[in-house]
Amino acid sequence: MPAHLTARRSPPLSGRVRAPGDKSISHRALILGAMATGVTEIEGLLEGDDILATARAVEAFGATVERQGEGRCRVTGQGGFRQPAGVIDCGNAGTGVRLLMGAAAGYAVTTTFDGDASLRKRPMKRVTGPLAGMGARFDWQTMEDRLPVAVIGGGLTAIDYVQTVASAQIKSAILLAGLNAGGVTTVTEAEPSRDHTERMLTAFGVEVGVLPVGDGRRVSLQGGQCLTGTAVAVPGDPSSAAFPLAAGLIVPGSEVTVEGVMLNPLRTGLFETWREMGADLTVSNRRMAGGEEVGDVTARHSKLKGVIVPPERAASMIDEYPVLAATAAFADGATVMRGVGEMRVKESDRIALMAAGLTACGVRVEEEAEGFTVFGGPVRGGATVTTHGDHRIAMSHLVLGLAADQAVTVDEPAMIATSFPGFVELMSGLGADIAASE
Ligand code: S3P
């Protein structure tokens, strides 16, 4: 991998591409497959670094993972987790480590979890707090709330947990632990977060109750239920599709189609927001795949206008604010993004890094504690952006560079492979000028 990648102003982009497999669903397919009895056949699996770390982790817990071709893999579960031999290194993956901690807490095993420098900075008590309430024990190896941590599992009792943070990772960790806890585990969320765990558990034969409560949901399951291996077809990741689609919207004369994009309404807040900004975004060939609605999404170059993004939409597009901010730089007027404090505890502090990167590219940004505003106008570019190893910060700035006056360079490009291996090749195939640089 080169030291840097540089994106330059590009001619109109055109073509049809396939989105890589959804990262959230790929993690869950491997983890549930390992917890299940029997064989789980996965197709369309994302083969990004985050997922490869989860695949190694479930093998360490006793499952067999056999790669059978591109995106095709067979997981043979043992109906539970066995004692792993060494430390479970989840790399860069917050979803991987938090879901695995929840699953491991349910079994009588002691597991030390660790991750890369970015993952070691991210809060873990949001998950270990409720798991401790169920009876799991935690031994923080260096400091509280941060990896590495040893999880001592087994003997859990159910919890009735009311979430203060809208987070599918927390909800999922509790539900996975709840599968092996005595009693009925319930998670109540004020704003609904992505529901892939609930949907997939049902596909593995688990009875999951979902009730609407106000604007949110209450999800519950009875402990002691067994999972049975099944087939999982992973749909295309809307969070990854966002990058070629964003490029289509901002590079003059472009028309880009991404095929097989998951359209789960708890994931499509960005598309809704882009439409409100005046984006020419259309969906064709709607169909069901792997229990989710998918479609082919086409973005044509559009004259965008700034909007106020409703804060209650945040959970349905939390990973998409960086790329939204990149497109907002080309809009007429201000795009106001509030209620997104969670962005500060992702792979990096994404509010701070987007504000810094866009400002370095000549875009006016106002940063707040829990949000930021991007003022559209001419985008100069001409900067080298520090990504702190965050894949989405890198891809957002590269997309910006395709329509900026001067080139935009990002550091640590190897990290893009955590969620979007083949990003540069896919974008180049559409006509984007993205190349290695020193
Ligand atoms: C994810 C949930 C989100 C998201 C992450 C994937 C998941 O995190 O940012 O990339 O697969 O459950 P939170 O649930 O913590 O908001």
Place of tokens 């159910």: 158
Place of tokens 């979007």: 420
* Domain identity same for 291 and 380: yes
From the alpha carbon of 194, which atom of ligand 1 is closest? 12
Measured CA to CA in angstroms, residue 267 lies from 45, 215, 308, 420 at distances of: 18, 16, 19, 17
From the alpha carbon of 166, which atom of ligand 1 is closest? 16
In the chain, the number of structural domains is: 2
Residue 360 belongs to domain spanning: 4-21+236-437
My answer on whether omega of the bond before 2 falls inside 30° of 0, hence cis, is no
* Domain identity same for 170 and 195: yes
Task: Choose the final residue of a domain: 233, 262, 290.
Answer: 233
* Domain identity same for 218 and 257: no
Q: pLDDT at position 1, please?
A: 74
Q: What is the CATH number of the domain that holds 288?
A: 3.65.10.10
Ligand 1 neighbour 409 (Cβ under 6 A): no
Look up residue 20 and give its DSSP letter: P
Ligand 1 neighbour 24 (Cβ under 6 A): yes
Ligand 1 neighbour 92 (Cβ under 6 A): no
User: What is the residue with the minimal CA distance to atom 15 of ligand 1?
Assistant: 167
Q: pLDDT at position 438, please?
A: 82
Which distant-in-sequence residues (6+ apart) come within 8 Å of 178 by Cβ?
Answer: 106, 134, 156, 158, 159, 185, 221, 223
H or E element at residue 44: none
Contact assessment for residue 410 and residue 398, using Cβ atoms and an 8 Å cutoff: yes
* Domain identity same for 190 and 328: no
Ligand 1 neighbour 195 (Cβ under 6 A): no
From the alpha carbon of 168, which atom of ligand 1 is closest? 14
Question: Of 215, 319, 349, 405, which one is the catalytic site residue?
Answer: 319
Place of tokens 């003059």: 252
Contact assessment for residue 281 and residue 261, using Cβ atoms and an 8 Å cutoff: no
* Domain identity same for 347 and 380: yes
pLDDT by residue for the chain (438 residues), tens digit each?
A: 789 999 999 999 999 999 999 999 999 999 999 999 999 999 999 999 999 999 999 999 999 999 999 999 999 999 999 999 999 999 999 999 999 999 999 999 999 999 999 999 999 999 999 999 999 999 999 999 999 999 999 999 999 999 988 899 999 999 999 999 999 999 999 999 999 999 999 999 999 999 999 999 999 999 999 999 999 999 999 999 999 999 999 999 999 999 999 999 999 999 999 999 999 999 999 999 878 999 999 999 999 999 999 999 999 999 999 999 999 999 999 999 999 999 999 999 999 999 999 999 999 999 999 999 999 999 999 999 999 999 999 999 999 999 999 999 999 999 999 999 999 999 999 999 999 998
* Domain identity same for 212 and 243: no
Q: How far is CA 313 from the centre of its chain?
A: 16
Residue 169 C-alpha to ligand 1 middle, in angstroms?
5
Q: pLDDT at position 48, please?
A: 96
* Domain identity same for 227 and 241: no
Cα dihedral value 413, 414, 417, 421, nearest 10: 80
Contact assessment for residue 274 and residue 306, using Cβ atoms and an 8 Å cutoff: no
User: What is the residue with the minimal CA distance to atom 11 of ligand 1?
Assistant: 24
Instruction: Report how far residue 15's alpha carbon sits from residue 23's, in angstroms, rounded to the nearest whole number.
Output: 23
Q: Pairing relation of β-strands 184-189 and 216-222?
A: antiparallel
Look up residue 290 and give its DSSP letter: T
* Domain identity same for 227 and 252: no
DSSP letter for each residue of 71-120:
TEEEEEEESSPPPPSS-EE-TT-HHHHHHHHHHHHTSS-EEEEE--TTGG
Question: In which region does residue 388 sit, left (phi positive, over 0), alpha (psi from -120 to 50) or beta (all else)?
Answer: left
Ligand 1 neighbour 95 (Cβ under 6 A): yes
* Domain identity same for 160 and 250: no
* Domain identity same for 171 and 277: no
Look up residue 210 and give its DSSP letter: E
* Domain identity same for 205 and 89: yes
Q: pLDDT at position 291, please?
A: 84
- For 206, half-sphere exposure in the C-beta direction (CA atoms, 13 angstrom radius) is 30
Cα dihedral value 141, 143, 147, 150, nearest 10: 30
From the alpha carbon of 27, which atom of ligand 1 is closest? 11
Contact assessment for residue 325 and residue 374, using Cβ atoms and an 8 Å cutoff: yes
The SS3 assignment for 22 reads coil
Ligand 1 neighbour 127 (Cβ under 6 A): no
Task: Choose the final residue of a domain: 208, 233, 258.
Answer: 233
H or E element at residue 328: helix 321-328
* Domain identity same for 240 and 200: no
Residue 206 C-alpha to ligand 1 middle, in angstroms?
22
Instruction: Report how far residue 419's alpha carbon sits from residue 82's, in angstroms, rounded to the nearest whole number.
Output: 28
Ligand 1 neighbour 320 (Cβ under 6 A): no
In residues, how long is the chain? Answer: 438
Q: Is 145 a catalytic residue?
A: no
Residue 212, number of CB atoms within 10 A of its CB: 9
Helices 238-250 and 321-328, axial angle in degrees (round to 10): 0
Residue 319 C-alpha to ligand 1 middle, in angstroms?
8
Residue 110, number of CB atoms within 10 A of its CB: 15
From the alpha carbon of 315, which atom of ligand 1 is closest? 16
Residue 168 C-alpha to ligand 1 middle, in angstroms?
6
Residue 42 C-alpha to ligand 1 middle, in angstroms?
21
Contact assessment for residue 124 and residue 162, using Cβ atoms and an 8 Å cutoff: no
Task: Choose the final residue of a domain: 202, 233, 264.
Answer: 233
